[in-house]
Amino acid sequence: MTSDLEARLHQHREGTFPGFSSRYRTYRLLYYEETDDVWAALEREKQLKGWRRAKKLDLIRRMNPSFADLAPSD
């Protein structure tokens, strides 16, 4: 969850944000959701993190079947 997606993408690409993306060097944005409700965003993030990989991939395929990078180019 973030309030500034571009800044978060930069952190991930530069490896300055510790966690999954720096550990596994994942740099493409394949899926995202937007909301103005912080509590809803936190609940959704928890929900998604609890899903198995196959269910997450199905969600990505529905929105982004070609697995294209959805982040703006630098």
**Cα(35)–Cα(31) distance, integer angstroms:** 14
Contacts 24+ apart (CB under 8 A), 60-63: 60/30, 60/31, 63/31
Task: Tell me if residue 63 falls in helix, strand or coil.
Answer: helix
- From the list 5, 6, 27, 3, the residue with the least C-alpha distance to 15 is 27
pLDDT digits (tens, 9 = 90+) for 42-52: 999 999 999 99
Q: Where are the domains of the chain?
A: 5-63
Residues 35 and 41 sit within 8 Å (Cβ to Cβ):
yes
pLDDT digits (tens, 9 = 90+) for 25-69: 888 899 999 999 999 999 999 999 999 999 999 999 999 999 999
